[in-house]
Amino acid sequence: MKGIGESTLTKVLRRGEILLNNLSPVLYSKINFPKVDVELFFDIEDDPTQEYVYMHGIYERRGKEEQFIHFTAKAISMEEEKGAWGNFWKYISSLPKDGYAVYYYSHHEKTTYLKLQQKYPDVISKEDVETFFNNPNVIDLFKIVNESTDWPVGNIL
């Protein structure tokens, strides 16, 4: 089949067997999350038709304390977008080094942040953006789900 390789077909067959026979999720390898004082559940909101990021949202957990923190542009302007993004990085820089973990879902945040870095190079360097996302405590949950688990649901590649 054009565009579908052996690994994809193997995955589809395996997931089909799970759907028909197991009816419960399968974990292929143990997932170890970092033990840290601060956990951040991170998402951005953007308008891809305008290539405009208007919010950087964080649900922060410090022990039993939880709060939602957002860095939001108040208007559609480059100045507001840059300000919200810069404030996000100030917040990240204020956290204890290696004392926090960031959880996000899919590569969209990293791809978008690399574009923002090109747009506003004076906010943060490309190397610092890459260092942030390459930190083992900055975790793409989609990647973990896709590589380490299978679920008894149809139509997932």
103-143 pLDDT, tens digit each = 999 999 999 999 999 999 999 999 999 999 999 999 999 99
| CATH numbers and ranges of domains, the chain | 38-142 (3.30.420.10)
Instruction: Report yes or no: 25 and 45 within 8 Å, Cβ to Cβ.
Output: no
pLDDT of residue 5: 85
**Complete DSSP assignment for 78-147:** HHHHHHHHHHHHHHHHHSPTTSEEEEE-STHHHHHHHHHHHH-TTTS-HHHHHHHHHSTTEEEHHHHHHH
Of residues 42 and 23, which shows the higher confidence score?
42
User: How far, in Å, CA of 19 to CA of 43, rounded?
Assistant: 30
pLDDT band at 154 (very low <50, low <70, confident <90, very high): low
User: How far, in Å, CA of 62 to CA of 96, rounded?
Assistant: 12
User: How far, in Å, CA of 145 to CA of 37, rounded?
Assistant: 24
pLDDT of residue 42: 95
pLDDT of residue 113: 96
pLDDT surpasses 90 at 70: yes
pTM tops 0.85, yes or no:
no
User: Among residues of the chain, what percentage have pLDDT more than 70?
Assistant: 96
pLDDT of residue 22: 66
Instruction: Report yes or no: 101 and 34 within 8 Å, Cβ to Cβ.
Output: yes
pLDDT surpasses 70 at 155: no
Q: For residue 60, how many other CB atoms are within 10 A of its CB?
A: 17
pLDDT of residue 119: 97
pLDDT band at 9 (very low <50, low <70, confident <90, very high): confident
